[in-house]
Chain A
Amino acid sequence: MGNKKYIQTIGFAAAVVSIQIITYFSATGYFLTQLTMSGYYSIVVIGLCLLMGYAGQISIGHAGFFAMGGYITAVLTTFNFSPFVKNTLISLFSKTGILIARQDLYGGQILSFHPLFACAGAVIFTIVVAYIIGGPVLKLKGHYLAMATLGLGTIIYKIVIGTTILGEADGISDVPAFTLIPGLLEVSGKPSMRIQNYYFAWGLVIISMVFVLNLIDSRVGRALRSIHGAEDASNAMGVDTAKYKLHTFVLSAALAAMAGVFLTHFNGGIGPSEASIMKSVRYVAIVAVGGMANLWGALIMGALLNFFSMRGYFGTLDDAVFGGILILIMLFAPEGLLKTELFKVKRKNFQSAEKSGEV
């Protein structure tokens, strides 16, 4: 059980490396930009898969958490705090290096948050919000939970689009690079940093994946699956079901926020479409295509579909494609694409071969 998980992870890491090598030799390095973005979206998918597939709690508001992470880091790193420098807190921040001076797009000097602190602030804020909202919302079940999280997503979208400081319909641009290792690694859209960013994004994906895979194999993961199966019985066996659901919700919101932070630095900005309901539906659709309780399925589908979408293969029908996918999957393959008849036959053959000792 344990070993299989690590072999899969190593196999996946090898695939990540080979894709980069292929793009290098086929002179298609520009693919890496979309692959990097698709990696960040996959982190959202991993968290949502844990929440939906394992704990059995739907969320149609995860784009909201992604946007929350992205927008907070964007505001903190682009808002000019220098007019407030007389404020003791601001001047303290400025002296301790939490606020740094830099040049904006038009050459003016601005004083704004260091990306590291903006990132921490964004993730912590999202965690707090998820905690406060998750408590009451997760008492709901089924359709009602879906409606409530949909409402949450709508609220965040409306806030984003109606707030001046968040750039309203234009979003926020000129988000600075997030320098992690000076000269070597910075999360930004610079072509010279393309390969580093690709590996950084997919490194984060793999780390998130290992953590979540470990979690579902643990006592907590077992408790989550029991909640999914029979919540009453789980509670009677001593599982604090409300707490476990809430913590899982918060964890997946935090993963979404982290992805939002880095993608915003990578893109150099964020727009309100990241908070839209269609984005949330897209994440749900990807988890469903992957097979709900199937992290690898969700991850691979997330990477592929987001990549195709960003390369523009779906054209103007982008959102329609994801909506359509959701309907088709629910109708014909509710357990995910990999568990349809076509794949099942192969798996059965493999199992019977395994039993007779051929493998």
Chain B
Amino acid sequence: MFNLISGFLRPNSGEIMFNGQQIQGLKPYHIAAKGMSRTFQHIKLFPKMTILENVMIGRHVHSKSEFIAGMLNLPWTRREEMRIKEKAMEILAFLGISDMADTEATSLAYGQQRMVELARALACEPRLLLLDEPAAGLNMRETAEMGRLITKIRDSGITVLIVEHDMSLVMNISDEIVVLSYGQKIADDVPLAIQKDSEVIRVYLGEEND
């Protein structure tokens, strides 16, 4: 699902609308430039790069130095680099992980790596943030912290779309939940209503036998 929306897979039919534009068939980098950013279920940080550098990649769509400017290290390129760095530090501070800025990304614990992925996606300043199982592999304390951060991101004005089956996270932070079963939508409502939905209960918890 996320791979279709973010352009990693090409849909066989149908259309995907984002901000009033069709985006099916576009390459991922193109969709990212349109204001959609994502994380991965299996963490995909850039190894051999620091946390700060990982997050700075997120600023790629908001900067424009190319080969020639980079090779000549022009003054405006240097200024742009400074701005990229400042913004990346700002995002690390927002998520409370500034102290790890110079650590190599892959040397972190799993939960922290998820946090860096989130920071990197946020650095794109997306309108829509896709989080692919953000609680996967996290313990309860880390999940709660992740939930708190996602709420904070939502409150800053970014739409967050989450695929997740950790119910404690989903029920606590969602405004609206869509339930899928084998690719078919079976429910779409606020958390409380979802909890009472008979179809959802039948599919996910099983039927009561009379």
Contact = CB atoms under 8 A, between A and B. Distances in A.
Contact of A226 (B37, B57, B73, B80): B57
Given A220-B65, A241-B29, A226 B71 contact: no
Contact of B70 (A219, A226, A229, A241): A219
Interface in A225-250: 225-226, 229-230, 232-241, 247
Nearest to A227: B46
A218 B73 contact: yes
A232 B44 CA distance: 8
A221 interface: yes
> Chain A interface mostly helix, strand, loop or mixed?
helix
Interface in B1-46: 6, 8, 27-30, 32-33, 37-38, 40, 44-46
B120 A237 contact: yes
B71 to A, nearest CB: 4
A211 interface: yes
Given A221-B70, A251-B67, A229 B37 contact: no
B81 interface: yes
A225 B77 CA distance: 18
Contacts of A226: 46, 49, 54, 57
B66 A220 contact: yes
Interface in A189-229: 211-212, 214-215, 217-223, 225-226, 229
A222 B53 contact: yes
A338 to B, nearest CB: 16
B63 interface: yes
Given A218-B69, A234-B46, A236-B32, 13 more contacts: A215-B70, A218-B70, A219-B81, A222-B53, A223-B57, A229-B48, A230-B47, A233-B46, A233-B120, A235-B28, A237-B121, A238-B60, A241-B29
B56 interface: yes
26 contacts: A211-B71, A214-B70, A214-B71, A215-B67, A217-B73, A218-B81, A219-B60, A219-B63, A219-B70, A219-B80, A219-B81, A219-B84, A222-B53, A225-B53, A226-B49, A229-B45, A229-B47, A230-B47, A233-B44, A237-B32, A237-B37, A238-B29, A238-B33, A241-B29, A251-B67, A293-B48
Contacts of A233: 40, 44-46, 120
User: Chain B contact residues (Cβ within 8 angstroms of A): what range?
Assistant: 35 or more
A55 B167 CA distance: 41
Q: Which of B47, B69, B73 has the most CB of A within 10 A?
A: B73
Interface of A: 211-212, 214-215, 217-223, 225-226, 229-230, 232-241, 247, 251, 293
Contacts of B71: 211-212, 214-215, 218
Nearest to B56: A222
Contacts of A212: 71
Q: Which of A219, A223, A229, A235 has the most CB of B within 10 A?
A: A219
B96 to A, nearest CB: 22
A294 to B, nearest CB: 12
B192 interface: no
Q: Which of B30, B32, B57, B73 has the most CB of A within 10 A?
A: B57
Contacts of A236: 6, 8, 28-29, 32, 37-38, 40
A138 B148 CA distance: 42
A38 to B, nearest CB: 24
A220 B71 CA distance: 9
Contacts of A211: 71-72
B46 A225 contact: yes
Given A211-B72, A225-B49, A229-B49, A237 B67 contact: no
B164 to A, nearest CB: 19
A222 B60 CA distance: 9
Q: Which 10 A-B pairs have the closest CB atoms?
A: A218-B70, A238-B61, A229-B46, A238-B32, A233-B44, A211-B71, A214-B73, A235-B28, A230-B44, A220-B70
Q: Which of A234, A251, A293 has the most CB of B within 10 A?
A: A234
A293 B33 CA distance: 29
B147 interface: no
A239 B54 CA distance: 13
A34 to B, nearest CB: 29
B134 interface: no
Given A218-B69, A229-B48, A237 B60 contact: yes
